[in-house]
Structure 1
Amino acid sequence: MAMDIRFEKVDFTYQPNSPFEQRVLFDINLDIPSNSYSAIVGHTGSGKSTLLQHLNALLKPTSGKVFIGDRVITPETSNKNLKPIRKKVGIVFQFPESQLFDETVALDIAFGPKNFGVSEEESARLASEMLELVGLDDSYLERSPFDLSGGQMRRVAIAGVLAMEPEVLILDEPTAGLDPKGRKDMMDMFYRLHKEKGIGIILVTHLMDDVAEYADFMVVLEKGKIQKQGHPRDIFNDVEWLREKQLGVPTVTEFAFDLMKKGMEFSRLPLTAEELSEELLPILEKRQVLSDDE
């Protein structure tokens, strides 16, 4: 499944030509690689949520063009035929469990496909399959979503988005409010979907550790403008710049950067715990040999 998303000179203004006019995006040029795991980071008010809503045409640009697969969205695009885009690009909003409403888990997950004309039978099959994908078994199908734990409710809500069989999944701070284990399980689940099902992921987050661990493309937004875009490794290499922008640095990178300042040499700045141990092992082995020789 290949689906490119591209922004060309996109501006967006809320309530244009009114006293409440507010420009939020400025000259956005962006190419989100097909099948990538992309991360969009920035402070509150940087325009992340507005950008996110352009990714499946919930908002249309005030000027410029957004290319979603083979569709071009311009300020003049009619709202009529946007439904197919919303099937291809699924959004998991913050606290998606607040959007659950049906009396059973099965009906809730099947709601979207049925709405798109999928048969009763096929919708039921999808509900069962997607529930399994998010790590819950069939015994949950007939339960009320409101009898589940917060983490389980979130998984059901995500299964509902997956039941639309999107090619791209947009995650808006998907682990907000979960405990550390719940967070890690949830992030591993999305990574598995990306790797095994070939679903493109676009993650909106302020957690740099998640970006370092999972993403292969990264966009930094500030006050509605793109400040940097590229591979997370290249962006995280500029630790001073990230600190200056108060964006935070992955925990491991921060630690390694401080070690480098104290004279330790790495072949590359590590982003994850795994990379740090790979870098430290030869150094420690070398030290061990030297101390054995003394």
Structure 2
Amino acid sequence: MASDVPMTPELEQIDGEIQDIFRALQNGFQKMDKIKDSNRQAKQLEELTGKMKECKRLIKEFDRILKDEESRNTPEVNKQLNDRKQYMIKELNSYVTLRKTYQSSLGNNKRVELFDMGAGSSEPTAEDNIQMASAMSNQQLIDSGRNQMDQTDEAIARSKMVVAQTVEVGSQTAATLTQQTEQMKRIGNELDSVHFSLKKASKLVKEIGRQVATDKCIMGLLALIVFGVIAIIVVKIVNPHNKSIPDIPGMAPPAQNFQTNRRLLSTRSFRGL
């Protein structure tokens, strides 16, 4: 099956490596019929098993890149790439079945682990489970089913725990948001009070300014009057005979009145004698 699907350079490289492995598997199984020694056949089968493991790894890498690029591709391209992946899986499964046939002919009842899940590897896919189930006995299938159920129960329990923790975190977040909302309301009320106080203080400052200006005017007029009176007094003292400046009451009584008073006092004194 020639690949006419549009691929990125990385996918094309992986696809090419997988096709090389398929050709090597085809040639290797053709040589199996020509090998008569069972030990050499077992060794050849072991080498082919290693190539199938590498092919499985490359298919997983192809699938990973395909999922990363799925959002950037059109639905048609994604469908073609998925079909290409399914073709690779079916092709590999055919060689897996062929390997099991040769393995049975060699009398090797020990199942060779094709998909070796080492530390840090991903969980088996649906295709892996189908391939492994075909080589299991009924008891092994039952045990595997029980293990799968136990793992499913554990996963459900973990999911419930995560959900409970999520609900608790959500409740705490809601309570925190409620407190923050109330605090924001209080801050808003305080800002309104501050704004009102500032407006009131501004009006009061303006009134005080007007009063101060009025007081300054009055004080200025009083100062002018005082300075005028002082100036008149000084001029009158310096030049008492200046007729252009009127006499200030109580400061300089007329001379004629003073002489008349002296005569009246003299007359009264004489009469008393």
Query: Does the pair score TM above 0.5?
Result: no
**Structure with a larger share of its residues in helix:** 2
Q: TM-score, normalised by structure 1?
A: 0.19
Q: TM-score, normalised by structure 2?
A: 0.20
Q: Which has the larger radius of gyration?
A: 2
**Structure with a larger share of its residues in strand:** 1
